[in-house]
A and B are shown apart, each in its own frame.
Chain A
Amino acid sequence: MSAISTTSSGTMPARASARAAKRTGLPYTALGILFLAIMLFPVYWMVNASLQPNGTTIQATWFPIHPDFSGYGTALAQQGQNLGTSLIVALGSVVLSLAIAAPAAYALSHFTVRGTNIVLFAILISQMIPGIVVANALYTAYNDLGLLNTIGGLILADSSHGVPFAILIIRAFMGSLPSSIIEAGRVDGAGHVRVFWSIVLPVSRNALITAGLFTFLFAWSDFLFALTLTTTDAVRPVTLGLYQYIGSYVTDWSSVMATAVLASLPAVVLLLVAQKFVAAGTSTGAVK
């Protein structure tokens, strides 16, 4: 979104007035930074606390003047395996969600089959179903199927965060594709699968990346299914590791906060590196 605003101000013809607007805008910038500082204080505090010396963070200083990385050492030693589990589950959920969502999004945006409305309705309704209801039923089913404490079980369950979202965001993009592209491919003799695979998917690259990034975050951040569908240490996402840290009396805040920082890294990376794709996804609706 920021990309759009910068380009629009860049193409503004009257450069002098733009410069004047910039000067009058500075108080707003100051105010904006103040708002942001308040909003992001907890994030700062997380980083600050993670850099305090181990164990003795009862009275943390407001700035990490002498940064101490031992909290991260402890965090990696105790939660390293859990971070790996989270990574595998999140990546698996991305693959599964996109494989399910992309064909559905194509059908929902370009076919007029009778079932499309039912599927869309089901997606909307799915947003109303509390996670605890899903977890309740999945626990008993997973227990029978032997899917408790498995990576596969978590990937399947975690994708329930990503699949509806991915369908909606990819559908919004594919809906903006001119149907002439598809008709051209069809007339040239390509089947639906060929058209989908070699025309629609490559053109929809940005929407797929956006959906994939968010699906990753959803699965990475999942807590409810990690909490309910695992019962042993064998498969333990980092969110659950963190919950167990803070569930007991905490004496060593620096390693807890270091774990929180590590668990938050994907979100930060997404925001800083992949901002273009986030903007591409959120502005598709506005573009058409």
Chain B
Amino acid sequence: MTTTTTTTRAPVRRAASVGSGRPHGGPPSARRRRERLYQWLFLVPASVYLVLFFGYPVVKNLIMSFQDYGTATFYTGEAPWVGFDNYAKVLGSTIFTTAALNTALFTAGSIVGQFVIGLGLAVFFRKKFPLSGVLRSLLLLPWLIPLIASGAVWKWILDKDSGALNQFLEALHLVPNGVPWLTSTQLALVAVVGVNVWIGIPFNVTILYGGLQDIPDELYEAAALDGATGWRSFWNITWPMLRPVVNVVLVLGVVYTLKVLDIILALTGGGPANASQTIATESYALSFEQFRFGEGSALGNILVLISLVFALFYLRASRRGVED
């Protein structure tokens, strides 16, 4: 650091002279254009990749949603235009109402659970105590292991007959006999939400803890002098100061939860009887199990639309964060 500050002055002065035009570098506008071109080249690989793997899928999905794109298409290469038929079919089916409601419940339940527990733990870890750093970093584990591995172990923990949860609850005489967590139409969604909360807690703790670290200690000390501690200091200092971070966490959480697929497929596959089917899993089922790609992409587009609404919130929240 010190070496850079000592060498800073001379180059800056020389850089200024470069900016005003070197005598033998050609006309300034042409040189500037070449400079622009060089700078653009650094962005080309990323731009191409983003266009191919995000831009193209969105456009292709939009086109497919207006086509009869099914098994036959892969043999004949023909996908006749059908207008809004796919949307009509998808929106008119009884599964859509269930899936939309499940998506709302899954998202709301997951976000509330993750956020409340995550904020509680973040506030808890703000108190410096022995091993707090180690414990906090170990807490990241559920977030880092593959979702499908978490899904596998949870599937067994929640197993009706031999699952650890039922063994535990039965030992405490809290439930009479095996609770069918994943195989009951009333409980499947609850179980899936519970597991998703578990997965989301580390993310919430990490971001919220980072936000808490940015609140200066002096504020708490001053408030303590005025007699504000505990809950009062939380509501008067922590919460207002944390609001920008809270906004980002919540909106990002919603956007990420809307598209969750892995954990539901691993635990219930959307069942039993669509009890845990969401828009994302139903879109997967239409495309990749029934090979009705047209309808699958129509449903996918509806999901994109919902995400975009929240994206607007996100952009507003993050722009406020960037400007601060």
Residue ranges of A at the interface with B (Cβ–Cβ < 8 Å): 1-3, 5-6, 9, 21-22, 25-26, 28-29, 31-33, 35-36, 39-40, 42-43, 45-46, 49, 57-60, 99-101, 103-104, 106-108, 111, 113, 115-116, 119, 122-141, 143, 156-157, 159-160, 163-164, 167, 178, 180-181, 183-184, 186-187, 191-192, 196, 217, 220-221, 223-224, 227-228, 239, 242-243, 245-247, 250, 253, 256-257, 259-261, 263-264, 267-268, 270-271, 275, 278, 282, 285-286
- Is A2 within 8 A of B137, CB to CB? yes
- Is A133 within 8 A of B297, CB to CB? yes
Q: Which chain A positions have C-beta within 8 A of B287?
A: 132, 135-136, 139
Chain B binding surface SS class: helix
- Is A131 within 8 A of B261, CB to CB? yes
Q: Given A42-B153, A192-B38, are A28 and B127 also a contact pair (CB < 8 Å)?
A: yes
B147 interface hit (Cβ, 8 Å): yes
- Is B144 within 8 A of A9, CB to CB? no
Q: Given A33-B135, A134-B57, are A243 and B153 also a contact pair (CB < 8 Å)?
A: no
B223 interface hit (Cβ, 8 Å): no
- Is B61 within 8 A of A186, CB to CB? no
Q: Which chain B positions have C-beta within 8 A of A261?
A: 149
Q: Which chain A positions have C-beta within 8 A of B15?
A: 183, 186-187
Q: Given A106-B42, A242-B149, are A132 and B311 also a contact pair (CB < 8 Å)?
A: no
Number of residues from B at the complex interface, CB < 8 A: 102
Within 8 A of A (CB), among B132-155: 132-142, 144-155
- Is A125 within 8 A of B311, CB to CB? yes
Chain A binding surface SS class: helix
Chain A to chain B contacts (Cβ below 8 Å), 29 pairs: A2-B134, A26-B130, A28-B129, A28-B132, A35-B135, A36-B139, A42-B150, A45-B153, A46-B153, A100-B49, A107-B39, A111-B39, A115-B47, A124-B311, A128-B308, A131-B261, A132-B303, A133-B283, A137-B64, A160-B54, A178-B4, A180-B12, A186-B15, A187-B15, A192-B38, A192-B39, A196-B42, A223-B148, A242-B146
- Among A40, A107, A133, A223, the residue within 8 A (CB) of B57 is A133
B270 interface hit (Cβ, 8 Å): no
Q: Given A119-B47, A267-B145, are A22 and B42 also a contact pair (CB < 8 Å)?
A: no
